[in-house]
Amino acid sequence: MRRFLGLATVAVLSLATAACTAGSHSGAGGHVTITLYNGQHLQTTDALVTAFEKATGIGVAVRSNDEDVLDAEIVAEGSRSPADVILTENSPALEYLQAKGLLSPLDRATLARTPRRFSSPQADWVGVSARVSVLIYNPGLIHKAALPTRVIDLADSRYKGELAFAPDETDFQPVVTSVLRTYGRAATLHWLDGIKANAGSHIYPDNEAISSAVNRGIVAFGVVNQYYWYRMRAEIGSGNIHSEIAYFVPRDPGYVIDVSGAGVLRSSTHQAAAQRFVAFLVSKTAQEIIAHSISFEYPIASGVQSAQPETPFGELKPNPIDIADLGTGAQAIALLHEVQLL
């Protein structure tokens, strides 16, 4: 027994040491390693981080999770947060940190790379890439002509049992906020009740789950961002695709551009390297990577256009709601709470 325990201890210690050495990344050779809290999809982030490390020699340690979880971690960690940079999928997560005074102002040159309307009005974070909200539908279950063309019609009772959406997905909050700004609080609550009833049990945890469910014919259509469909097609092969995407009518409140952005943490002890990383994200090199990656996001900085066969960014006709109006998402969350979708 003692021998067993002894062996076990040795095994544990040696493996733990191995794991620790494999994990520790910093310091060696005097070069800097920054820590990135990543709320973006791995597809996008991996390629960008690799290119940055190659170009600058600065190491990047990545911690990935849902952007709201990362926000909560940063707030809890306070001045001791290991994060130097945060990269999110949506603007509200950054607006939230900015409102708490946790972000450093960005270099002017960095901000100048991205059209102003896609960055923080207060200049604490910069827009990196963008996506647009659409409907994904299964033509085997619903004809394109029968789809709602305005977001408000999603609550129409004729779609009972056919609609899918993800109330806790961060991509959905901007749609709710947009509806709120257009129609007001009472109508939005009514609308939420309607889509909740229409969805029934088709309430999903995220957009990937909606895309997959629609594609497999579990539910007729759902609200997602356009790139989920393109990515799904790339991942599972076009032979397995049984769904299409459809846009809302121009300037409909459901037709929302979601901006993914990055900021430097005020608590970062590597301000210069962190600023360099964010500057890199909006550089031509990084934007080209986004343009060609199979994340299917739209590059929005340095004048780069998407190289993927999707509706060109310039031809989109979204609701002209701005970043400040989308805010921190708190209002949308409160409404979702009120109708007990959360």
Partner 1 sequence: MRVVTVSTPLPAPALRRAATEEGATVTRNKRRPVALLAASVFVLAVLVLPLAFLLTEAGGAGVSNVWHLIWRSLTASLLWNTVRLTVVVTALCAVIGTLAAYGVERTDLPGRHVWAVLVVVPFAIPDFVVSFGWSSLSTWVQGFRGAVLVMTLAVYPLVYLPVAASLRGADPGQEEIARSLGASGLETFFRVTLGQARRAILGGCLLVALLILAEYGAFEILGYQTFTTEIFSEFNVGLDPATACALSLVLVVLSLVVLVGEGASRGGGRLSRSGPGAQRVLVRKKLGRARLFVLGAYALLVLGALGVPVGSCVYWIFEGGVPAVAGISLGSAALYTVAYGLGAALVATLMALPVALLVVRHPARLHFLLERTTFLVLAIPGLVVALALSYFSTHYAGGFANQSAPLLVLAYSIMFFPLALVCVRASVAQAPVGLDEVAGSLGVRRLPALFRVTLPLVAPGLGAAFCLVFLSAVTELTATLILIPINAATLATQFWAYQQNLSYAQAAPFALVIIAVAAVPSYVLGRFFDRLPRRGSAQAPVVVT
Interaction residues for partner 1, span 45-104 (CB under 8 A): 46-47, 50, 61-66, 68-69, 71-73, 75-78, 80, 82, 96
Stretch of 129-137, 182-190, 207-215, 273-281 lying at the interface with partner 1 (CB under 8 A): 207-215
In the complex, the smallest distance separating the C-beta of residue 72 from partner 1, rounded to whole angstroms, is 6
At 36, which amino acid appears? Answer: L
Contact assessment for residue 249 and residue 150, using Cβ atoms and an 8 Å cutoff: yes
Q: Is the sign of the CA dihedral 137, 141, 147, 151 positive or negative?
A: negative
Stretch of 153-161, 174-182, 230-238, 257-265 lying at the interface with partner 1 (CB under 8 A): 230-238
Could you tell me how many residues of this chain bind partner 1 (CB under 8 A)? 73
> Based on CB atoms, which residue is closest to partner 1, 40 or 110?
40
Stretch of 15-23, 184-192, 305-313, 315-323 lying at the interface with partner 1 (CB under 8 A): 15-23
For 147, list phi and psi in degrees, rounded to 5.
-70, 150
| Interface of this chain with partner 1, residues 285 to 324, rule: CB under 8 A | 294
At 226, which amino acid appears? Answer: Q
H or E segment and range at residue 208: helix 207-215
- For 33, 36, 186, 284, the CA distances from 327, given in Å and listed in that order, are 32, 23, 19, 28
Stretch of 19-27, 126-134, 244-252, 273-281 lying at the interface with partner 1 (CB under 8 A): 19-27
> Across-strand partners of 64?
38
> Based on CB atoms, which residue is closest to partner 1, 81 or 319?
81
Contact assessment for residue 37 and residue 73, using Cβ atoms and an 8 Å cutoff: yes
In the complex, the smallest distance separating the C-beta of residue 291 from partner 1, rounded to whole angstroms, is 16
CA dist 138 and 306 (Å) reads 26
End-to-end CA distance of the chain: 52
From 1, 28, 145, 186, residue interacting with partner 1 (rule: CB under 8 A): 1
From 185, 190, 216, 251, residue interacting with partner 1 (rule: CB under 8 A): 216
Q: Does residue 330 interact with partner 1 by CB under 8 A?
A: yes
At 127, which amino acid appears? Answer: G
For 266, list phi and psi in degrees, rounded to 5.
-60, -30
From 123, 187, 189, 218, residue interacting with partner 1 (rule: CB under 8 A): 218
> Based on CB atoms, which residue is closest to partner 1, 19 or 249?
19
